[in-house]
Amino acid sequence: MKVRITPEMKKHLTLDMMPEIRKIIEEMKEISKEEFMEDCERIVQLASRGNESFEILKAEAEICNSCWADGFFSEKYPNLDVCIKVYAYNKFEGFYEVHACLSSFWQLAGDTNAEEIRNLMYISSDETRRKWKRN
C-alpha cells in the first residue's frame, strides 16, 4: 500500500519525525493491494452499517495525526497514524466518502466495538446530505 504525505500534513511535521514516518511508510508497503482493498471494503461496510454492495471508486492512504492513535505506530510520536480515505458508490445509497484511521480500524474486534470505531470515522454520504437538507 502506498502512503503519501499531503502538503497540509507537511506543515505539521518536523525533521525529527521523518525517521518514524519513514518506518510507518515502509511497514505499509508490505501490505498488498488486495489486503488494502479488503480493508477499504470493510471500512465502507462499517460506515454503511453492513451494506456490502458498494463499488470502491478510489482509495488512498496518507500520514495523519490522530489523538486516538496512542502510540499504535510510534512510541516516540504517539499521535502519528495512517488515514484511509475511501470513495465508494452504491446505486441505492449513492456516494460515500469515508475516512478512517488505521490505528482505530485495526483494533476492530468483530462487532463488539464496531459502533465505537464507526463513531471515530469521518462519513459523508448522499443519505447524510439529504437528512441535513430536510432540517
Which residues are CB-contacts of 57 (< 8 A; sequence separation ≥ 6)? 87, 88, 89
Of 118, 87, 91, 90, the residue nearest 105 (C-alpha): 118
pLDDT tens figures, 22-32: 999 999 999 99
| Domain edges within the chain | 3-134
pLDDT tens figures, 74-126: 999 999 999 999 999 988 888 999 999 998 888 765 555 778 888 888 888 87
Say whether pLDDT at 131 is over 90: no
Which residues are CB-contacts of 95 (< 8 A; sequence separation ≥ 6)? 87, 88, 89, 125, 126
Distance of CA 130 to the CA centre of its chain: 24
Global pTM reads 0.84
Paired with 55 in beta bridges are 89
Q: CA angle 22-99-53, nearest 5°? A: 125
Which residues are CB-contacts of 115 (< 8 A; sequence separation ≥ 6)? none
pLDDT of residue 112: 59
122 vs 47: CA distance, rounded Å:
9
Paired with 58 in beta bridges are 87
pLDDT tens figures, 27-83: 999 999 999 999 999 899 888 888 888 999 999 999 999 988 889 999 999 999 999
